[in-house]
Amino acid sequence: GESVGLHLPTLSVQEGDNSIINCAYSNSASDYFIWYKQESGKGPQFIIDIRSNMDKRQGQRVTVLLNKTVKHLSLQIAATQPGDSAVYFCAESSGNTPLVFGKGTRLSVIA
């Protein structure tokens, strides 16, 4: 399930199931979006990106969906594995502006 509050939102999934991590962004001028994965004690690692002229992009086991109408971004991970356990951040930028990071979601995979 998913919990939101004072702590980092957490999504718990069974190994082998699909995961969906959501992100709402606020700047309607944002035209580039990235998903990063951050494991404990490490820097953020690029997963997948998407431009605003697309609504879907697929990578290896991951898909990013962009809904500009409601300013919503999602990351889908197929056949979730224990190694996918991490904190996932969405980030947005527009034009020359540096990336702005979302709050993050902790994904816990139950073996």
Partner 1 sequence: DTEVTQTPKHLVMGMTNKKSLKCEQHMGHRAMYWYKQKAKKPPELMFVYSYEKLSINESVPSRFSPECPNSSLLNLHLHALQPEDSALYLCASSLNLAGAYNEQFFGPGTRLTVL
Per CB under 8 A, residues contacting partner 1 are: 7-8, 31-32, 34, 36, 41-46, 49, 51, 89, 93, 95-96, 98-104
Based on CB atoms, which residue is closest to partner 1, 43 or 111?
43
Q: Hunting for tokens 């309607």 — which residue is that?
A: 28
- Least Å from the CB of residue 17 to partner 1: 25
- Least Å from the CB of residue 89 to partner 1: 6
Based on CB atoms, which residue is closest to partner 1, 80 or 89?
89
> Which residues, 6 or more positions from 29, have their beta carbon under 8 angstroms from its beta carbon?
94, 95
Please report, as a single letter, which amino acid is at residue 26.
S
- Least Å from the CB of residue 3 to partner 1: 13
- Cα→Cα distances 33→6, 68, 107, Å: 25, 11, 20
Please report, as a single letter, which amino acid is at residue 21.
I
